[in-house]
Amino acid sequence: MTKDDKPAPQVVPPRPGLGHLIDATGYSIAGMVRLMRETAARQELILGLAMLSLLAIFGAGAGHYVAYGVLFALMIAVEALNTAIEELTDRVSPEWSKAAKDAKDLGSLAVGLMVVCNLGFVGAVGLGLV
């Protein structure tokens, strides 16, 4: 083995019980750190804060904040899945392909629909529809 050769990473079996929960929390934090390297995710975070400000201006009730929190969390989750799709697509199809383009476009559509849902909900609160 030369100095440039690295040993293959070993698959570590999951720990049981509390150890598994601790490990899973670490993986989730690592995922959020990775997601925040994406410009779109940072823009969605800013959008989320702006929408919270609008809810305050509109005099939203506690239920509105809870509902918006769920919608916002779903938007971030869909963005994370979209980023995962893009990462895997780039890995398995580094060259251009129609299937890779379609996969990325569909992921983008999912995020776009969640953005519309978030904006629509806040707009509905502002109009007194919910």
Q: In this structure, is residue 63 part of a structural domain?
A: yes
Of the candidate ranges 82-86, 92-96, 110-114, the one whose mean pLDDT is the lowest: 92-96
Q: In this structure, is residue 61 part of a structural domain?
A: yes
DSSP state of 36: T
Three-state DSSP class for 39?
A: helix
Q: In this structure, is residue 28 part of a structural domain?
A: no
Q: In this structure, is residue 92 part of a structural domain?
A: yes
The pLDDT score that the predictor gives to residue 91 is 95
Domain count, the chain: 1
Q: Which residues have a catalytic role annotated?
A: 79
Three-state DSSP class for 29?
A: helix
Q: In this structure, is residue 32 part of a structural domain?
A: no
Question: Is 128 within 8 Å of 60 (Cβ atoms)?
Answer: no
Question: Is 69 within 8 Å of 83 (Cβ atoms)?
Answer: no
The pLDDT score that the predictor gives to residue 2 is 61
Say which CATH number the domain at 92 has. 1.10.287.3610
Three-state DSSP class for 37?
A: coil
Q: In this structure, is residue 98 part of a structural domain?
A: yes
Percent of the chain with pLDDT strictly greater than 70: 97
Q: Which domain holds residue 80?
A: 39-126
Known binding residues are 27, 38, 40-44, 79, 86, 104-105, 108
Q: In this structure, is residue 50 part of a structural domain?
A: yes
DSSP state of 5: -
Percent of the chain with pLDDT strictly greater than 90: 88
For 11-70, the pLDDT digits (tens) are 888 899 999 999 999 999 999 999 999 999 999 999 999 999 999 999 999 999 999 999
Residue the block writes with tokens 């809810």: 55
Known binding residues for a divalent metal cation are 38, 86
Is the pLDDT at 81 greater than 90, yes or no?
A: yes
Q: In this structure, is residue 111 part of a structural domain?
A: yes
d(CA 121, CA 73): 14
